Amino acid sequence: MDAKFVHRPRIYIVQALLAGLALVGILIAEDIVTNGDFIVAAIASSVAIVFFVPHSVASSPFRIIGGHTSAIMAALCTVGIMLLLPDSVAGNQWVIHGLQGASLAPVILFMTITNTEHAPAAGTALGLATSVPINSVIFIVSAAIIISIIRIALYKRLHNLI
């Protein structure tokens, strides 16, 4: 068991509950706006980082918003490639998996160039690698903004848990 947890369990429990509440709030709000068409795993990972290590560079609003924006741009690149392929090729599962895997290269490149490295955004790029519906883009960008606002509002009260 983590020694920090033993000495300060209240902080860990409160932050874990706040993270869950934040994600539930984001999902409810976004479901109303986007009718449920969204990518959840990457956003949940961003929420986790904000509540695990709120004082880390990885949880800064610039990185959260910039990382997910970079992921959307990377996904647009892979979708662009997919659109150039004949339908018979683009529908092949091997091609789809190849494009999904290939989405990691541009997202890493874009995040590195813009100094917006945020690991959960790789999940966004993967999830959007073959289709970039506007509802998903709206969800991802607005969720990144909401997560950033939550982090800013609670920054002084949150503690790094690791």
- CA-atom Rg of the chain in angstroms: 17
pTM, to two decimals = 0.86
Does some domain include residue 9?
Answer: yes
Percentage above 90 pLDDT, the chain: 53
Is the separation of the CB atoms in 42 and 68 below 8 Å?
Answer: yes
Q: Which domain holds residue 134?
A: 3-154
Residue 118 lies in a domain: yes
Specify if 159 maps to a domain: no
Angle between helix 61-84 and 104-114 (nearest 10): 140
Tell whether the model's pLDDT for residue 31 goes beyond 80.
no
In a domain, 162, yes or no: no
pLDDT in tens, 71-110: 999 999 999 998 998 988 888 888 888 888 888 899 999 9
Quick check: is 161 in a domain?
no
Classify residue 75: in a domain, yes or no. yes
Let me know if residue 160 belongs to a domain.
no
pLDDT band (50, 70, 90) for residue 34: low
CA atoms of 6 and 55, how far apart (whole Å): 21
Q: Please give the pLDDT value at position 25.
A: 83
Determine the Cα–Cα distance for residues 14 and 96; give it in Å rounded to an integer.
41
Residue 33 lies in a domain: yes
pLDDT at residue 29 tops 80: no
How far apart are alpha carbons 132 and 79 in whole angstroms?
Answer: 7
Query: How many structural domains are present in the chain?
Result: 1
Quick one: how far is CA 134 from the chain centroid?
A: 16
